[in-house]
């Protein structure tokens, strides 16, 4: 009974707040002569600040049109914005900028959804040895990372040199499928200096242990650092979960003026690789067994950063690579 | 007892056995209750080892009823606690990559049960997996620790049956510990419960 009463009270408090909120919106609308969407556009600069607010305003709108607009096809954005302007009785001639701003924001919102679908599709596509396209990508990854050493065979121990687990990388892609391979290749192609540096660092024994004279006798084959490719696949998982949880909205709404694309996601991956590498060195873990601890600490840090609506996770590309990125 | 003896023979037998059985049941129930009360969750340390791509992490996630659709190769280790049959199973899943195998020994101490996972479809590496297992069984810190071998990936058509693997690994020569081989598929969950039942059973009999 007590519990029941509490639920009823909560329900009425909720109703009361809702009425109060609606009433407040009504009053502000009368006073300023602008609807909520207009106010958001006028008071917030373009990017995540504006788009995140528009997204939540539309989600909690009482109009079916605004709620469903969040999941429309990108081609229908223009028409939907016109419908919304008509519904809200906003004159496009007196507010020429509003339609454009709303359209950009809505494109970002629906673009995020379609990016999620595209990434999910790639992730679900398993690596297939029979597929020449997949095989070519894998071979290309080798050539990018080991330009001076030819691969002795498709199945080879050499794969361990770039941080795969065994002599056939196929099994390492697992739950990340083609997404893992594409990310690694993008990183190696577009941010080669960092990728090669990371790879080299990952193969080196840890610096402070090197200074230790008897290190070599104690741990002859204990190459410290992590396995480059495997870490790439794990960071792909991190980027994927950031995307799916919606945490990447802040970043993507800030960097993509309209629809975020797969390229934006891949660049985010490059950023995460660069930052993770730096974080790993900072944390100075004693060995690879600490990987998951460091990884989840890094994950929490990125999540915290993304709470700031001005945050963007832009990779620092070397000037020589910039033309490749802009291509 | 005396009371029973005074009765005619035939009836006494029946009653006696009847009483004793009922008494036994009561004892069983009480002892179970007492056990549950005194040890709310007896902790069991389980070590999950095997070559890379054997399915250890999938098995771990399956045990914890978690999503198994996006698993990545394990760098380092994962740990999860699972409640099962009055036990708190602390399962340590250590990466199987060759580079990581030297670290396995850091996790041997206080292990109650060793679970060794084999990819039954990866025939090319049966020898390698057999070698690693043999080395584990020779470890002093793991002496006498019951070992469960999961012949995993039985959902694949090319998977070798558990009996063939047992023969290939010469499991019948193990004399110094309890062992069991269980065919399973970490992907579908088939066979895992049976294996874990054996784990709990072997922990129980070891404690006695």
Q: Does B98 touch chain A (CB under 8 A)?
A: yes
Region B142-148 average pLDDT: 95
Distance from CA of A216 to the nearest CA of B (A): 15
Residue B191 counted as an annotated binding residue: no
pLDDT (0 to 100) of residue A211: 47
Q: What is the DSSP letter of B78?
A: E
Residue B204 counted as an annotated binding residue: no
Instruction: Report whether pLDDT(B161) > 90.
Output: yes
What is the distance between the alpha carbons of residues B42 and B89, in angstroms, rounded to a whole number?
Answer: 8
In B, which residues are within 8 Å of A233 by CB distance?
Answer: 72-73
B19: Cα separation from own chain's centroid: 36
ipTM above 0.95, yes or no: no
pLDDT (0 to 100) of residue A124: 95
Cα dist from B199 to A33, A254, B31, B107, B152, whole Å: 71, 52, 21, 18, 16
> What b-and-e string marks burial along A55-81, b requiring 16 or more CB atoms within 10 Å of the CB?
bebbeebeeeebeebbeeeeeebeebb
**Which pLDDT tens digit goes with each residue over B79-103?**
999 988 888 999 999 999 998 999 9
Q: Which of A166, A174, A289 sits opposite B76 (nearest CB)?
A: A289
A·B CB contacts under 8 A: 70
Distance from CA of A175 to the nearest CA of B (A): 4
- The first and second tokens of residue B61, run together, are 């996630």
**Which pLDDT tens digit goes with each residue over A21-74?**
888 888 887 777 778 888 899 899 899 999 999 999 999 988 999 999 999 998
CB A34 within 8 A of CB A42: yes
What residue in A sits closest to B68 (Cα-Cα)? A175
Residue B6 counted as an annotated binding residue: no
What are the start-end ranges of the H helices in A70-214?
A: 77-87, 96-124, 132-145, 170-173, 177-190, 192-203, 207-211
Report CB contact under 8 Å: B73, A289: no
Q: Name residues whose C-beta falls within 8 Å of residue B6's C-beta, 6 or more positions apart in sequence.
A: none
Report CB contact under 8 Å: B72, A240: no
The three-state (H, E, C) secondary structure of A197-210, written as one string:
HHHHHHHCCCHHHH
**Which pLDDT tens digit goes with each residue over A95-148?**
888 889 999 999 999 999 999 999 999 999 999 999 999 999 999 999 999 999
- A6: phi then psi, degrees, rounded to nearest 5: -65, -40
In chain B, how many H helices and how many E strands?
6, 6
Q: Which of B76, B100, B106 sits opposite A292 (nearest CB)?
A: B76
- Known catalytic residues of B? 97
- Scan residues 77-96 of B and list those with Cβ closer than 8 Å to A: 77-78, 96
> Whole-model pTM?
0.83
pLDDT (0 to 100) of residue B179: 95
**Which pLDDT tens digit goes with each residue over B7-46?**
444 433 333 333 444 444 555 666 666 665 555 678 999 9
Q: Which of A231, A234, A287 sits opposite B103 (nearest CB)?
A: A287
- The first and second tokens of residue B131, run together, are 């070698």
In B, which residues are within 8 Å of A221 by CB distance?
Answer: 102
pLDDT (0 to 100) of residue B83: 87
Q: In what order do the strands lie in the sheet with B87-94?
A: B77-84, B87-94, B42-49, B113-119, B147-152, B179-183
Distance from CA of A291 to the nearest CA of B (A): 6
Q: Which of B52, B77, B102 sits opposite A165 (nearest CB)?
A: B52
Q: Is A95 exposed, middle or buried (0-12, 13-18, 19+ CB in 10 A)?
A: middle
pLDDT (0 to 100) of residue A183: 97
pLDDT (0 to 100) of residue B32: 65
Most confident of A221-235, A270-284, B19-33: A270-284
Q: Does A222 touch chain B (CB under 8 A)?
A: yes
């Amino acid at each position: 009974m007590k519990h029941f009463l509490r639920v009823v009270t909560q329900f009425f408090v909720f109703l009361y707040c809702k009425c109060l909120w609606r009433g407040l919106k009504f009053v502000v609308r009368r006073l300023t002569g602008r609807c909520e969407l207009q106010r958001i556009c006028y008071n917030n600069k373009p990017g995540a600040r504006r788009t995140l607010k528009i997204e939540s305003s539309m989600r909690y709108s009482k109009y079916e049109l605004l709620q469903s607009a969040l999941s429309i096809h990108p081609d229908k954005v223009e028409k939907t914005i016109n419908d919304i302007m008509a519904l809200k009785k906003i004159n496009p001639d007196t507010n020429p900028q509003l339609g454009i701003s709303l359209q950009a924001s809505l494109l970002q919102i629906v673009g995020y959804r379609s990016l999620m679908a595209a990434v999910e599709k790639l992730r679900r596509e398993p690596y297939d040895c029979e597929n020449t396209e997949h095989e070519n990508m894998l071979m290309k990854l080798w050539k990018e990372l080991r330009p001076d050493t030819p691969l002795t065979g498709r199945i080879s121990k050499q794969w361990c040199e770039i941080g795969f687990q065994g002599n056939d990388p196929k099994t390492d892609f697992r739950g990340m499928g083609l997404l893992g391979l594409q990310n690694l290749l993008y990183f190696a192609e577009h941010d080669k200096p960092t990728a090669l540096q990371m790879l080299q660092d990952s193969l080196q024994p840890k610096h402070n242990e090197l200074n230790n004279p008897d290190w070599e006798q104690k741990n002859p084959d204990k190459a410290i650092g992590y396995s480059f490719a495997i870490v790439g696949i794990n960071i792909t998982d991190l980027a994927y979960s950031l995307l799916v949880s919606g945490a990447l909205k802040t970043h993507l709404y800030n960097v993509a003026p309209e629809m975020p694309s797969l390229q934006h996601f891949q660049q985010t991956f490059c950023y995460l690789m660069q930052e993770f590498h730096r974080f790993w060195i900072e944390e100075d873990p004693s060995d690879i067994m600490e990987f998951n601890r460091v990884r989840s600490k890094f994950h929490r840090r990125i999540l915290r950063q993304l709470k700031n609506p001005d945050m963007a996770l832009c990779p620092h590309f070397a000037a020589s690579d910039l033309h490749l990125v802009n291509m | 007892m005396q009371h029973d003896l005074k009765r005619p023979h035939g009836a006494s037998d029946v009653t006696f056995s009847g009483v004793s059985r009922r008494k036994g049941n009561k004892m069983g129930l009480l002892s179970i209750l007492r056990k549950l009360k005194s040890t709310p969750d007896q902790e069991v340390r389980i070590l999950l080892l095997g070559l890379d791509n054997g399915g250890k992490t999938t098995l771990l996630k399956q045990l914890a009823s978690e999503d198994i659709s996006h698993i990545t190769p394990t760098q380092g280790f994962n740990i999860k606690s699972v409640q099962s049959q009055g036990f708190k199973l602390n399962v340590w899943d250590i990466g199987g990559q060759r580079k990581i195998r030297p670290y396995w020994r850091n996790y041997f101490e206080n292990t109650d049960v060793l679970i060794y996972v084999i990819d039954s479809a990866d025939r090319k590496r049966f020898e390698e997996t057999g070698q690693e297992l043999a080395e584990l069984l020779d470890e002093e810190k793991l002496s006498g620790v019951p070992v469960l071998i999961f012949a995993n990936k039985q959902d694949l058509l090319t998977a070798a049956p558990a009996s063939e693997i047992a023969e290939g690994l010469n499991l019948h020569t193990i004399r110094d510990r309890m062992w069991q081989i269980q065919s399973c598929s970490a992907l579908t969950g088939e066979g895992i419960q049976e294996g874990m039942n054996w784990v709990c059973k072997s922990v129980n009999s070891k404690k006695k």
